[in-house]
């Protein structure tokens, strides 16, 4: 099956620093999403980005589908950015859907 690998597994930053999180996937995908899981377990959508670049405030994401990777950029990090960031893909084989395959996540800790 498809492999989704995220790096780095852990990241510690000082408030105000920038960071780049990476997601590699082993097969063509029709759906790629980035999520932030807060300390209470809630998964919050950041981006739906099967290809191209999107920006939302201090966050931006780029997916290069032909090279099978996606990047999440966090600029001017804040302590509230702490948590686990997940990349998830959906193969959509034969029209199947709703089956997101998650990477193991990047645990981000932003220190004041």
Partner 1 sequence: KAGVTQTPRYLIKTRGQQVTLSCSPISGHRSVSWYQQTPGQGLQFLFEYFSETQRNKGNFPGRFSGRQFSNSRSEMNVSTLELGDSALYLCASSSPPGQGGPIKGTQRTDTQYFGPGTRLTVL
Residues of the shown chain interacting with partner 1 in the complex, contacts defined by CB under 8 A = 30-31, 33, 35, 40-45, 48, 50, 86, 88, 90, 92, 94-105
CB of 41 to partner 1, least distance (A): 5
Between residues 77 and 86, which has the closer beta carbon with respect to partner 1? 86
DSSP run (H or E) holding 84: strand 83-90
- Decide: residue 43, CB within 10 A, 0-12 exposed, 13-18 middle, 19+ buried: middle
| Spatial distance between the Cα atoms of 109 and 112, rounded to a whole number of angstroms | 10
Q: Is residue 44 classed as helix, strand or coil in its secondary structure?
A: strand
CB of 67 to partner 1, least distance (A): 18
- Going from the C-alpha of 14 to that of each of 43, 81, 112, the distances in angstroms are 24, 11, 6
CB of 14 to partner 1, least distance (A): 27
Between residues 48 and 111, which has the closer beta carbon with respect to partner 1? 48
CB of 49 to partner 1, least distance (A): 10
């Amino acid at each position: 099956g498809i492999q989704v690998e995220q790096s780095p597994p852990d990241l510690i930053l000082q408030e105000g620093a920038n960071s780049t999180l990476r997601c590699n996937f082993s097969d063509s995908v029709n759906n790629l999403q980035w999520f932030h899981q807060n300390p209470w377990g809630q998964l919050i959508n950041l981006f739906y980005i099967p290809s191209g670049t999107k920006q939302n405030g201090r966050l931006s994401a780029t997916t290069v589908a032909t090279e099978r990777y996606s990047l999440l950029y966090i600029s001017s990090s804040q302590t509230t950015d702490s948590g686990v960031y997940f990349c998830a893909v959906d193969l959509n084989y034969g029209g199947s859907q709703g089956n997101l395959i998650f990477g193991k996540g990047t645990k981000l800790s932003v220190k004041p």
